[in-house]
Structure 1
Amino acid sequence: MTISQDGASPEGLERRTFRADRGDVGVRLDRVILRRLADRHDIARPDVQRWIGADRIFVDGVPITRGGRRVSLGEEIAVLVPAAPARREHLPEARPLDVLFEDEHLLAVNKAPGTVVHPTKGHWSGTLFNALLWHAKQWGPRGGRPGLVHRLDKDTSGILLVAKDPEVLARLARALQRRTFTKQYVALVYGHPPQEAGRVQLNLERDAEHWYRMRVAENGGRESVTEYECVATSGTPRAGLSLVRCRLVTGRMHQIRLHLRALGVPIVGDRLYGQPRWQGISDEALAAAAQAFPRQALHAWRLGFTHPMTGERLQITAPLPDDIRALVALAKLPLSALDAGA
């Protein structure tokens, strides 16, 4: 079987085609395919491996039988994937929102930890977006479908910006691309950064074997930059805790979590990228609290941007949630240090 020149595919399958770039060179074909299909969370590596030898994967029009084959620059890779699942209708739900700012054009909400931002597989209800759809009923004739300007991980708390109509959403999206936003996060980490303040710059890519993880790219990947400052610390350099303020220059998935791990100061409670460093804390109560902390201690703290319609410069702050505050207090770290120099 070969793929027809007009791109027709067997019924029930969609043809995805891409050209190998420098980041793909020398990488196993199955890993490259999974990375290029990162938008399809329903596809995993075993699926790709089953398609090999089943006339579902082609390189320069020729069917492939070995997933371990290494990719060369410029090769055209085509994959016949199952049609994407039908989109489900998202329903309004009467759930409370912690609104930090709102006018006729946009609003900023304080997302609680553990809240999924947008409906997805396994989380079709109870999300922040369901609550926003309900809230949007109050917007009157001008209001429309809420548009999420950016996202936060389920277990990251803090500020989310929402547009009330497509024009506002488009203007805010352009501002994000131009990097005119100032996005500051607060993280509680194990140990102490090697410098009081600095900049982390790494290229990141999605993990080919686990779509929900990111990793530092050996070749290619996308640039990611975080500026950080350690504002308070307690204990020894490896066995204590530090409060770190981070400013995103870029906004890649899991960027801060990976960057702080690369600095040797993993975030407390991070089950995906963290380390069990609580074992080295001498204060038994603090060690137990750090071990039991149920999520990454990361909070989207402050957002600065130019209002897309009025031109006013806004700065919105989301107070630290109770769970991080309690751990910070137990570590005897001064929260007042957060605002110094911010």
Structure 2
Amino acid sequence: MALKILYEDNDIIVVIKPRGVFSQSSSGFEEDMVSLIKKHLGKDSYIGVVHRLDKPVYGIMVYGKNKKATGILCNELRKKNIRKIYEALVEGVPSENRGKLRDFIKKDNNISRVVEKDTEDAKEAVLEYEIIETKYSADRYITRLKINLLTGRHHQIRLQCAAHGFPILGDHKYNERVIKEKLDYNKVPALAAVALEFKHPKTGKEMKFKTGADF
């Protein structure tokens, strides 16, 4: 699989993660982004994971090429200084053209669920959304959303959209209609990370990257 590079220097590499590829090292024989980048840089190269995308999700990712750069970027992520923008196709129409979803999420194995605030191990999950367009197709409304992810919880966008009544098209984990009707959609949620903004860990320069959604 060819590696699509958006930017590279001595400290960072910004790439497009294809669908079906793990964003961090895989324990099995499946392809992962760390291995793909090492094929490009050399097998002994340092590759630092800064953030993650679900395996079936497409989009922009940044990796550190040394420990110092990776540490700075991870700290910026913790301080919510890295901006991550997604696009999604959802079933239904949110009640407002723009809104903020705030929930508490708990991860159980490979599934997350919305829980009460005082639940043990619950973590706050926040995102902002904006409707781009809505169309009527195949007896239902399909809405394209722009999503600003303010926290990075496990399956956060997929879970929150479903919990608030507009599940992501094709999501076999959280879209109840897909699960009940055993719809396939190649088991790919219509979700893509289309923009990433952060300060360069060495120079402090504002770095902005965009790509189109693949749906």
Q: Same fold (TM over 0.5)?
A: yes
Aligned to 1:99: 5
Unmatched tracts of structure 2, length 5 or more: none
The alignment's C-alpha RMSD in Å is 2.1
- Aligned equivalents of 1:272, 1:167: Cα separation in 2: 36
Is the 1:201–1:224 Cα contact (8 Å) retained in structure 2? Answer: yes
Unmatched tracts of structure 1, length 5 or more: 1-94, 280-289, 325-342
Percent identity between the two aligned chains: 30
Structure showing the higher strand proportion among its residues: 2
The superposition leaves residues 278-304 of structure 1 with CA deviations (integer Å, 9 ceiling, x where unpaired) of x9xxxxxxxxxx863531111011001
Superposition pairs of residues 234-273 of structure 1, within 5 angstroms: 234-235=135-136, 239-273=140-174
1:296 matched to 2:197? The reply is no
Superposition pairs of residues 276-295 of structure 1, within 5 angstroms: 276=177, 292-295=185-188
Is the 1:276–1:291 Cα contact (8 Å) retained in structure 2? Answer: no
Is the 1:186–1:301 Cα contact (8 Å) retained in structure 2? Answer: yes
Superposition pairs of residues 177-192 of structure 1, within 5 angstroms: 177-192=78-93
- Aligned equivalents of 1:304, 1:101: Cα separation in 2: 13
Amino acid at match of 2:35: N
Count of residues paired in the alignment: 208
> 1:106: how far off?
0.4
**Normalised TM-score (structure 1):** 0.57
> 1:311: how far off?
1.1
CA 1:136–1:229 in structure 2 vs 1: closer, same or farther (change >3 Å)? same
The superposition leaves residues 3-40 of structure 1 with CA deviations (integer Å, 9 ceiling, x where unpaired) of xxxxxxxxxxxxxxxxxxxxxxxxxxxxxxxxxxxxxx
- Aligned equivalents of 2:8, 2:212: Cα separation in 1: 17
Which of 1 and 2 has higher RCO (CA within 8 Å, sep 6+)?
A: 2
- Aligned equivalents of 2:158, 2:31: Cα separation in 1: 25
Aligned to 1:308: 201
> 1:102: how far off?
1.2
> 1:182: how far off?
0.9
> 1:118: how far off?
2.6
Computing the radius of gyration from Cα coordinates, the structure with the larger value is 1
- Aligned equivalents of 1:182, 1:171: Cα separation in 2: 15
> 1:157: how far off?
0.5
- Aligned equivalents of 2:31, 2:106: Cα separation in 1: 30
The superposition leaves residues 262-288 of structure 1 with CA deviations (integer Å, 9 ceiling, x where unpaired) of 2211001100001327x9xxxxxxxxx
